[in-house]
A and B are shown apart, each in its own frame.
Chain A
Amino acid sequence: MLTPINMQALATRLAGLEEVKGRSLWADARRRFWRNKAAVAGLAMLAICIAFAAFGQAIAPFSYDFIDFNIMGHADELGRPSLTYWFGADDQGRDLFARTAMGVRISLLVGLIGTAISVVVGTLYGAVSGYLGGRIDGFMMRLCDIMLSIPFMFVLILMLVMFGKSLSVLYLSIGLLSWPAMARIVRGQTLTLKAREYIEAAQATGVPTTRIILRHILPNLLGIVVIYATLLVPDIIITESFISFLGLGVQEPQTSLGTLISDGAKAIYYDTLWQIGFPLGFFLLLMFGFYFVGDGLRDALDPKER
């Protein structure tokens, strides 16, 4: 029987309880991820790329803009991959090992920074839109639709031409143009989360709104955000490479994978295949790496798959 005194005791005991530590979603996901061979292989590919981007320029015998005038114009004979030029040299006589390392670094940076911007903007926008609902939601999503139906690549090129072809403009404009897809995903997830019993329970027990969002909604959004962020990075790298391939992105003597592939693609008529082979190899390594890791994360984190 619950007498008022018992109730009081129960209430004080309940109030004094620490939050229960459950088996977290993330520990679960981690276990599932490590069991997925393709995902681990993808992670290894990414690790290789990141290590190469971080240390490649430091261990390269030449700097990325050093020009060897002996090789200039004779890359097909003198610029072959060798003990001095590990990845060969391009037709301007520059070391491709250092340049590829720089290219991987810049492509990775653009991918990560662009994704970070788009994740922050998209998650905030989507969560606010989904949580507030009603007319505000309708208006915010209509704006999203308008953004999505604008030909992204053309506007991106427009922005680059208008504000100058610099790296920071590239980061910003890619990030600022690619958030609507993320916002939509986050909004959808927020809507389903809002209707869950545990949110209702939290509301019923009087947990303040900000705490509901922080403790219950955001952690549950995190899974889907991480998955789509991982899949967004290669997308943005492709976008950046596309732009750089056209000569509208990263400017000389700096370089990115797109610029290197573009140079290499022009050089295939002169039989200097190492010029396209090495950058392309790392590009594919990055793409496959992110693809497999993203896929593995989806399997590990997607609650629907249990």
Chain B
Amino acid sequence: MLTYIAKRLAVAVPTLLALIVISFLLMHAAPGGPFTYEKKLPAAVLANLNAKYGLDQPLWRQMISYVWGMVAHFDFGPSFVYKDRTVNEIIAQGFPVTFQYGGWAFVMAVVCGIGLGVLAAIFQNTWLDYLSIGISIGASVLPNFVLAPILVLIFTRWLGWLPGGGWEGGDWKHQLMPILAMGTAYMASIARIMRSSMLEVLTQNHIRTARAKGLPTWKVITRHALKPALIPVLSYLGPVFVAMITGSVVVDMYFSTAGVGKFFVDAALNRDYAVMMGVTLLAGGLTILFNLVVDVLYAWVDPKIRY
């Protein structure tokens, strides 16, 4: 197991490096730099600015110093637009917020999705099954940027129960709609995957045996059926995790929550390369780490898998 984790981490390093190189080259292939304003800067000012941020160095040296800063000091460099802030500060401010509502959305999607899927499978072809299929088909075509305005329309405009935006230090009323907007579509997909895999597991011999020896249904499900049925869901968790990070881009824009997505879009609109790269790399690194965790979980759920 440990060798497997080591091996996976060894693969993760070139992946991250590839990500760095690709985004770095993209950055420099682009016409215009971070200091291309509508009003042209005097050549001397531009040269000084470029020297200050190291942009006058050859490409390979810039890349090496960037990677070195990241590896040695976990330093993503200064922001090009917010003169007095580093990328680290921006990330440190945004990520905790994103993690808070993103984490809840993740938990909601997984727990409710699995619950809904199991219920639909146990009560196959009853109204409960059709209801949960209906919900999951409906919800799967409602991506976060569609669901968010619908939620605001219902809960803020018509019912007046929830505030339509803001963060207020993580007050639950401000978190509820971001969580729902981000999690619902993934809850639907998980429910669908869970239902079909549960149905498959329920036809297997060991379940028949468990039933035959007189175990009550809930015990058959929790002790014998749940673990094998979870495997396909596990493999879907990686994409869900990524979606929680990228989804924060929409949620932050629409609900004015101060997560990392807000900074990313601002950076994209202002051509603040350093912030964009920092966020992209951090998201990439987290994704790789999370996929590793999922793979380890696989081994726990499915004893047939040996590394």
Say yes or no: A155 contacts B268, CB within 8 Å: no
- In the assembly, what is the distance between CA of A276 and CA of B284, in Å? 34
Q: Which of A252-288 contact B (CB under 8 A)?
A: 258, 261-262, 264-265, 268-269, 273, 276, 280, 283-284, 287-288
Interface positions of A from 229 to 268, Cβ below 8 Å from B: 234, 238, 241-242, 245-248, 258, 261-262, 264-265, 268
Nearest A residue (CB) for B144: A242
Question: Which residues, 110 to 164 on A, are CB-close (under 8 Å) to B?
Answer: 142, 145-146, 149-155, 157-164
Contact A276 B23 (CB under 8 A): no
Nearest residue (CB) in A for B12 is A149
Is chain B's interface secondary structure helix, strand, loop, or mixed overall? helix
Which residues of the other chain, A, contact B141 by a CB distance below 8 angstroms? 234, 284, 287-288, 291
Interface size on A, residues (CB 8 A): 41
B157 CB → nearest A CB, Å: 6
Q: Which of B137, B149, B279, B284 contacts A264 (CB 8 A)?
A: B149
Decide: A268 and B157 in contact? CB cutoff 8 A.
Answer: yes
Residues of B within 8 A of A283 (CB): 146
Q: Is the CB of A161 within 8 A of B276?
A: yes
CA of A268 to CA of B22 in the docked complex: distance in angstroms? 40
Main DSSP-derived SS at the A contact region: helix
**Is B245 on the interface with A (CB-CB < 8 A)?**
yes
Cα distance A161–B140 when bound, in Å?
29
Whether the pair A276, B149 counts as a contact (CB closer than 8 A) is yes
Number of A-B contacts defined by CB within 8 Å: 115
Question: Which residues of B are found within 8 Å of A245, using beta-carbon distances?
Answer: 145, 250, 253
Q: With A155-B22, A261-B149 in contact, do A161 and B271 touch (Cβ < 8 Å)?
A: yes
Given contacts A154-B246, A245-B250, A287-B141, contact A146 B27 (CB under 8 A): no
Q: Contact check: which of A151, A163, A273 meets B246 at CB < 8 Å? A: A151
Q: Would you call B240 an interface residue if the criterion is a C-beta within 8 Å of the partner chain's C-beta atoms?
A: no
B145:A261 contact, CB within 8 angstroms: yes
Say how far B294's CB is from chain A's closest CB, in angstroms: 12
Cα A146 to Cα B20 with chains together (Å): 12
Inter-chain contacts of B291 with A (CB < 8 A): 149
CA distance A46 to B259 in the complex (A): 37
B137 contacts A291, C-beta separation under 8 Å = yes
Chain A 3-14, CB-CB to B under 8 Å as 1, else 0, gives 000000000000
Contacts of A291 in B (CB 8 A): 137, 140-141
Q: Do residues B30 and A149 form an inter-chain contact, with CB atoms below 8 A?
A: no
Interface code B284-307, partner A: CB below 8 Å = 1, 0 otherwise?
A: 100110010000000000000000
Q: Kindly list 5 other residue pairs between chains A and B, CB separation below 8 angstroms, not including A161-B268, A248-B265, A283-B146.
A: A146-B14, A149-B288, A150-B19, A150-B287, A161-B271
Query: Which residues of A approach B to under 8 Å, CB–CB?
Result: 142, 145-146, 149-155, 157-164, 234, 238, 241-242, 245-248, 258, 261-262, 264-265, 268-269, 273, 276, 280, 283-284, 287-288, 291
The 9 closest A-B pairs by CB, nearest first: A265-B149, A162-B30, A287-B141, A153-B246, A154-B280, A151-B283, A245-B145, A146-B15, A161-B268
Residues of B within 8 A of A (CB): 11, 14-15, 18-19, 22-23, 26-27, 29-31, 137, 140-141, 143, 145-146, 148-150, 152-153, 157, 164, 242, 245-246, 249-250, 253-254, 264-265, 268-269, 271, 276-277, 279-280, 283-284, 287-288, 291
